[in-house]
């Protein structure tokens, strides 16, 4: 199967990006270097094409409440929640952002590789008789290929986007969004991101994609704007302790193990709730922790974790931390070894490389002055 | 473009420059561009004997860990200690300050490619 291309594909090629296939999409891996792009986002501003991400719409309150782990009654219009979709065994099907568009209108941003599967799964829940009322018009829409999504991330991102819009962005708080115009392009402007920095994720129609992308690159020149690829996106999100679906969690992971209890509203009913409650009563077998490497070894996905020469767990994500200057990982270990300060080792090509459990996230952005 | 005259190349994308029985080894421009940002190198000890095409060490980029192979047989006489704090030299100057190891008692390896043959080999790879 050929990989899909975003509306910005030609822009990436023109900018000299090295392209890669990710979740069925041809995406920029890097333009100049992952290190430089990473630094640009931490110190100035980076521009990401995120159009591979999926967008789904659920026009049914009861259905949306049943499929996401958060209580949507607490989601006000114009606000966003990070939430999970779980199967009936309590395993994580996907992690998503839920946008409160209006009463009974929820816009979900889902992982690229899961979008079609999420869509079919939510539709299947809609068709079950337990969903409220008799059969109505299909309330679930797959809009994944209708939207271009551009991430503008970094300490200078707010000033950059503000210069291109008449909307007052200081009124748009973290995890809130507005509809407005950026560079005269109609957009949804969302104060969210996957980098650990301040910034926006801007949705527009595909026909406006190139115009918006170029306007942001052009207007961002004095800010030192740098287009950034999936390579930097991964090293940035790892420093910020953000889980990557498929790496750090999957359908065999329950949210408690993944350290995502805060995304659960167990006092409402949702698919997977009962299994999660039972898992909590049983006690967890493992939990996701941060590891700081004490030597220069690079931990990688799948490397074994040991303690006292006994295997105890597995690395799910690991790399250099360009910002912190040491190497970091997320790993599953037994709860007894999950306290910060605990000594463990990562098996790197047969050698036990010393590591220490540290709190997540590894990196928190400095408070704005 | 760096001066690569006199270098010979392996199909695993190392280069070697021999002078008498001593040799300098690094990775090629093509290899560094494919690896991307180099962040760590695991290198042999001085005095270690390497056969031609034996594993020389490991090079890690942000993307992945890859094995390095010695293009010729010989004994490690020096490793580039600068790379410990500056692995990015391999990206910035793969034929210069990004060199990786020096060997003594180096033996010729007739399987190595000259520049033209290596360039053709890379062309063939990137189109496969």
The token pair that represents A229 in the structure block: 């690829």
Whether residue A194 contacts residue A236, with contact meaning beta carbons closer than 8 Å, is answered with yes
Residue A271 CA to residue A264 CA, distance in Å, equals 11
Residue A38 CA to residue A280 CA, distance in Å, equals 38
Whether residue B99 contacts residue B93, with contact meaning beta carbons closer than 8 Å, is answered with no
Give SS3 for B43: coil
The token pair that represents B40 in the structure block: 């760590």
- pLDDT per residue as tens digits for the range A227-245: 999 999 999 999 999 999 9
User: Which pLDDT score, from 0 to 100, does residue A127 have?
Assistant: 74
A31, A36, A37, A38: CA torsion to nearest 10: 150
Give SS3 for A361: coil
DSSP string, B54-79: SEEEEEEESS-EEEEE-SSEEEEEEE
User: Which pLDDT score, from 0 to 100, does residue A128 have?
Assistant: 67
Q: Tell me the pairing of strands A45-49 and A225-227.
A: parallel
User: Which pLDDT score, from 0 to 100, does residue B5 have?
Assistant: 81
Nearest to A320 among B42, B62, B84 (CB): B62
Mean pLDDT over residues B102-115, rounded? 94
Whether residue A138 contacts residue A120, with contact meaning beta carbons closer than 8 Å, is answered with no
Q: A34–B60: do the CB atoms touch at under 8 Å?
A: no
Whether residue A213 contacts residue A12, with contact meaning beta carbons closer than 8 Å, is answered with no
Mean pLDDT over residues B99-112, rounded? 95
Q: A33–B91: do the CB atoms touch at under 8 Å?
A: yes
> CA-based Rg of chain B, rounded to a whole angstrom?
13
CA A273 to chain centre: 22
pLDDT at B2 over 90: no
Residue A259 CA to residue A289 CA, distance in Å, equals 8
Mean pLDDT over residues B18-22, rounded? 92
Strands (E), chain A: 4-5, 18-22, 25-30, 45-49, 54-58, 80-86, 92-102, 105-110, 140-142, 147-153, 177-182, 185-190, 199-205, 225-227, 287-293, 304-307, 310-321, 326-333, 343-348, 351-358
Q: B62–A349: do the CB atoms touch at under 8 Å?
A: no
Q: A33–B65: do the CB atoms touch at under 8 Å?
A: no
The token pair that represents B65 in the structure block: 């860990």
Whether residue A46 contacts residue A142, with contact meaning beta carbons closer than 8 Å, is answered with no
Chain B residues within an 8 Å CB radius of A318: none
Q: Is B86 on the interface with A (CB under 8 A)?
A: no
pLDDT at B90 over 60: yes
User: Which pLDDT score, from 0 to 100, does residue B39 have?
Assistant: 96
DSSP A292: E
Q: What is the 3-state secondary structure (H, E, C) of B4-23?
A: CCCCEECCCCEEEEEECCEE
DSSP A66: H
A329 CA to chain B: closest CA distance, Å? 13
Q: Is B114 on the interface with A (CB under 8 A)?
A: no
User: Which pLDDT score, from 0 to 100, does residue B125 have?
Assistant: 81
B36 CA to chain A: closest CA distance, Å? 7
- Low-confidence spans in chain A with pLDDT less than 70: 1, 128-136, 368-369
pLDDT at B128 over 60: no
Q: B36–A300: do the CB atoms touch at under 8 Å?
A: no
- pLDDT per residue as tens digits for the range A128-142: 665 555 556 789 999
- pLDDT per residue as tens digits for the range A172-198: 999 999 999 999 999 999 999 999 999
Q: Tell me the pairing of strands A4-5 and A25-30.
A: parallel
DSSP string, A299-317: --TT-EEEETTEEEEEEEE
Whether residue A364 contacts residue A196, with contact meaning beta carbons closer than 8 Å, is answered with yes
Give SS3 for B36: coil
The token pair that represents A194 in the structure block: 């996957």
Nearest to A231 among B62, B65, B88 (CB): B62
Q: How far is CA B127 from CA A4, A30, B121, in A?
A: 20, 20, 10
- pLDDT per residue as tens digits for the range A41-89: 999 999 999 999 999 999 999 999 999 999 999 999 999 999 999 999 9
Q: A35–B60: do the CB atoms touch at under 8 Å?
A: no
ipTM score: 0.87
Q: How far is CA B18 from CA A105, A187, B90, in A?
A: 70, 60, 19
**Could you give the angle at the alpha carbon of A333 between the alpha carbons of A328 and A337, nearest 5°?**
95
pLDDT at B43 over 70: yes
* pTM of the complete model: 0.94
**Could you give the angle at the alpha carbon of A81 between the alpha carbons of A75 and A84, nearest 5°?**
120
Selected for mutation to probe chain B from A239, A320, A324 (highest B CB count within 10 Å) is: A320
Q: Is A34 on the interface with B (CB under 8 A)?
A: yes
């Amino acid at each position: 199967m050929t990989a899909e291309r975003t509306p910005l594909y030609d822009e990436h090629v023109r900018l000299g990006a090295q392209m890669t296939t990710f979740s069925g999409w041809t995406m920029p891996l890097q333009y100049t270097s992952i290190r430089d792009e990473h630094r640009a986002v931490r110190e100035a501003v980076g521009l990401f094409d995120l159009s591979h991400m999926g967008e789904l719409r659920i026009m049914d309150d009861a259905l949306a409440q049943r499929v996401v782990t958060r209580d949507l009654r607490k989601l006000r219009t114009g606000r966003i929640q990070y939430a999970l979709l779980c199967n009936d065994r309590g395993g994580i099907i996907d992690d998503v952002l839920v946008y409160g568009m209006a009463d009974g209108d929820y816009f979900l941003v889902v992982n690229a590789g899961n979008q079609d599967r999420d869509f079919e799964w939510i539709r299947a829940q809609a068709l079950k008789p337990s969903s409220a009322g008799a059969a109505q018009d299909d309330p679930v829409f797959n809009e994944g290929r209708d939207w271009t999504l551009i991430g503008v991330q970094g300490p200078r991102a707010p000033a950059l986007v503000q210069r291109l819009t008449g909307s007052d962005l200081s009124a748009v708080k973290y995890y809130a969004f507005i509809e407005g115009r950026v560079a005269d392009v109609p957009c949804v402007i969302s104060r969210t991101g996957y980098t650990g920095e301040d910034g926006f994720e801007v949705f527009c129609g595909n026909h406006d994609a190139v115009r918006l992308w170029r306007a942001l690159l052009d207007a961002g020149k004095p800010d030192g704007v740098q287009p950034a690829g999936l390579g930097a996106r991964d090293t940035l999100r790892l420093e910020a302790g953000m889980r990557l679906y498929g790496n750090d969690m999957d359908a065999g992971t329950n949210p408690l193990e993944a350290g995502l209890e805060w995304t659960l509203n167990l006092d409402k009913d949702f698919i997977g709730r009962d299994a999660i409650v039972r898992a909590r009563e049983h006690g967890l077998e493992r939990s996701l922790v941060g590891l700081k490497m004490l030597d220069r070894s690079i931990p990688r996905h799948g490397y074994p974790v040991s303690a006292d020469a006994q295997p105890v767990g597995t690395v799910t994500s690991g790399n250099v931390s360009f910002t912190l200057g040491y190497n970091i990982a997320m790993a599953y270990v037994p709860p007894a070894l999950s306290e910060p300060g605990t000594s463990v080792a990562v098996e790197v090509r047969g050698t036990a490389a010393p590591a220490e459990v540290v709190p997540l996230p590894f990196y928190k952005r400095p408070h704005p002055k | 473009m760096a001066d690569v005259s006199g270098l010979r190349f392996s199909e695993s994308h190392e280069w070697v420059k021999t002078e008498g029985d001593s040799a300098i080894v690094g990775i090629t421009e093509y290899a560094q561009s494919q690896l991307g940002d180099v962040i760590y190198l695991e290198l042999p000890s001085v005095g270690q004997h390497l056969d031609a095409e034996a594993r020389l060490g490991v090079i890690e980029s942000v993307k992945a860990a890859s094995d390095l192979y010695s293009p010729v047989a010989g004994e490690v006489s020096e490793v580039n200690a600068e790379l410990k704090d500056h692995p990015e030299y391999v990206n910035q100057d793969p034929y210069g300050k990004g060199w990786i190891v020096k060997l003594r008692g180096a033996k010729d390896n007739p399987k190595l490619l000259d520049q033209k043959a290596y360039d053709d080999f890379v062309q063939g790879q990137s189109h496969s």
